[in-house]
Structure 1
């Protein structure tokens, strides 16, 4: 692992559970408007990378015009984007990301599709890794954590966290994440998706946060990787959410 950090802060915006759909506002979803607002917020804080930690799309029946609109927004953003497919939009062979043309965008990286499990941003000294949902079956979102090979490392996961005293009660759930799973990453930040509320989880050994859905939490997480201050996390309001 390189011994020196980049000489400037690296700024990430982390969000999840946008549930882009056909615009009928079922279950409080709102077509591509949520994606537009998230991109605008990321641009406003001058994010270096935007992280979408699962369920960017609501289902595999999202119509082609909506897919094209979402792809056009991502293309126009011009910023690096890392997308982790979630349980609503898994990385199937005919996944939405391929249908939309998102996988053809050079600055948009879809884990499990364009990259197996990790993306490196060498100018930022940063690796972002995660295990995509590849089907609708259960799996361990943080299995086999990657050894750190860059000054900064961020893990992404889409699943359900259960604290030690709640584990037995949540054992029936799919995509479980434990304190041990989080700690084993040894990452500088774990970007979580699957919950609509924004909250930190785990035993504190690594910074692990759900961003929440921007429509319901009304914020995104801004993560600043600073060579002088370490990892600084704050919630940034999403205008119009």
Structure 2
């Protein structure tokens, strides 16, 4: 048995502009170690990695800094020196179309197989653990690669061995502009043993007939709406049986999280602040979304300023709708549906002595008033 390490969408060189400059530079430095970590993993003998596939967007741009390019070439040479073949496919961020693309400027020095053909072709037959692996791919090239409708012509050699296609594109029309759509039925008819995909940053898998078509996803994402998978994608191959499993190997990454919190469950601003302090970690990148109807005013900017240094990066989005006691008392005097509702719950609240039940009634009171106001039934 051997394993294929399927990578995609590393986006080396990306820098988070939503962070303070010093934190953005540090975040970039950490993310740019992704390839080195993947190579370290592949070269660990116990992991049995015999082939590495990079399914597009290795870089954030087609013109990455030369220092980064040299670092990447050095890492790929480590694989080459260890006898682990590597296949690199350009993506849409690091597109080969441009005359100054990294893949045109450094093609002669690029380790392993660098895909440069604009149409699907057999690009290499590699010996992996003494077993032939046939690679099929293309590098999207503007003005040459058809992009108006899904590609349907996928060649396959009539040769023994494992047949693996590698594309930076989308199944069907999913993905919008520059997504290189691929026809599902045509890929199924081609009869590949595995289709390695990039471009979609989630970890997804689909069966095209008997063929597994797999998005590796971005190991470490770019932000709150793209947090990354936190895993390497490994394809297990048994000669004579082909692909027997696809699994995700967890990888330690810097946590990027979004938490949606109901501020109405806290009794005071101090309680909310204490909860936020309990979430703190120096490497954590957190977006806290506050909603609900608390009995106190939430000062999002002040909370963020107070706690920001406890996190690598913190954002607080305040969407709460507080209802004060003065508001409630004023509504209770009105001859309206809202007034009747408020009076009844205030009466119930007055008779409650158990703290937990009082909190429930208070919350119901505020939520009810907010609902009535939204429905325009307060008058």
TM-score by length of 2: 0.53
The alignment partner of 2:74 has SS state of helix
Ranges in structure 2 where 5+ consecutive residues have no aligned partner: 19-23, 221-227, 255-379
1:186–1:203 CA distance, 2 compared to 1 (3 A): closer
Q: Is the 8 A contact 2:196 2:216 kept in 1?
A: yes
Instruction: Give the C-alpha shift of residue 120 in structure 1.
Output: 0.6
SS of the residue aligned with 1:48? strand
Secondary structure of the corresponding residue to residue 211 of structure 2: coil
Distance 1:19 1:172 in 2: 19
Retained in 2: the 8 A contact 1:84–1:157?
Answer: yes
- 1:43 and 2:53 matched: no
Q: 1:76 to 1:50 in 2, by over 3 A?
A: same
Q: Are the counterparts in 2 of residues 178 and 202 from structure 1 also a CA contact under 8 Å?
A: no
The structure where helix makes up a greater share of residues is 2
Structure 1 position 143, deviation (Å) = 3.9
Mapped pair 1:58 → 2:60: yes
Unaligned runs of 5+ in 1: 1-8
Partner of 2:196: 191
Aligned partners of 1:117 and 1:132 also within 8 Å? no
1:147 counterpart SS class: coil
Q: Deviations over 1:116-137 (max 9, x none)?
A: 7511114321111111112387
- Report what 2:155 is aligned to: 146
Residues 1:134 and 2:134 are matched in the alignment: no
Counterparts of 1:79-228 in structure 2 under 5 Å? 79-92=84-97, 93-99=99-105, 101=106, 103-105=108-110, 107-112=111-116, 117-122=122-127, 123-135=130-142, 139=147, 143-148=152-157, 149-162=159-172, 170=174, 173=177, 174-215=179-220, 216-227=228-239
TM-score (norm 1): 0.80
Cα distance in 1, alignment partners of residues 73 and 215 from structure 2: 24
d(CA) in 1 for partners of 2:93, 2:51: 23
Which has the higher relative contact order, 1 or 2, with Cα contacts under 8 A spaced 6 or more apart? Answer: 1
